[in-house]
Structure 1
């Protein structure tokens, strides 16, 4: 019986120490600004990625975190908090009908979208995590262009 109590106490102590180790992780805020949206309809959806091969992510299944923001005067600003240091990429959707997905016409998207580090997108200039990624090692603020096809 005494061994079981000692084991339980040791386990509880190790869990407590493990949770304190988490507090030592450097975290930062990442603010994303989007301007020049074509209208104030819907919302802006910003997906944050932290792994190679995670984008393109047309169905929004590979993201690390995702936030949605209001559009005011054709602009939106969203801040991700408590982001550990590392490499990230951003995908933006001007979700005009608030359905959480990229709506398409025949082939091309009919809603605006964009990726960090991209000013234009074409069949020869497709987004990948390595092309869209940037480093976060302090609080960071950036603008991402939304592209309408």
Structure 2
């Protein structure tokens, strides 16, 4: 019986400590400003990623700005746990939710956090990633 009580107390104290750590986890806001010559056709689409394995595949958040109804080109993402993130933005002129490609490459404008670039394809996650610890504002040029 004493062993049972001891195990119960260890589990209970561990759970309380885990909850306290989670409650103390620092949250930050990310503001993303978009610059560049962009027509008022379509939408700006922002995808936020938190891992290299899902980079440009499955974002953890997707946000839109309808350019026909909103000339504000700033995204606000609130309450993110401190950590490593990367952002990809496209000017989705035809509202199909993806970056359209032609014979010579993309036919719609795009950009990444840190204004990361790559000659032959998308920028790597390591170049686009940023450490978010406090409220941060970044600018992406399309």
Q: TM-score range by the shorter chain?
A: 0.7 to 0.9
Q: Is the 8 A contact 1:46 1:66 kept in 2?
A: yes
Say whether residues 1:27 and 2:23 are aligned partners: no
Partner of 1:84: 81
Give the CA RMSD over aligned residues.
Answer: 2.5
Query: Of Structure 1 and Structure 2, which has the larger fraction of its residues in strand?
Result: 2
1:116 to 107, 113, 117: 113
Say whether residues 1:69 and 2:61 are aligned partners: no
Give the 5 Å matches for 1:1-149. 22-55=22-55, 57=56, 61-71=57-67, 72-73=70-71, 76-118=73-115, 120-123=117-120, 126-146=122-142
Aligned residue pairs: how many? Answer: 128
Task: Output the TM-score relative to the length of structure 1.
Answer: 0.73
Partner of 2:9: none
Task: Output the TM-score relative to the length of structure 2.
Answer: 0.77
Unaligned residue ranges in structure 1 (runs of 5+): 1-12
| 2:52 counterpart SS class | coil
Unaligned residue ranges in structure 2 (runs of 5+): 1-11
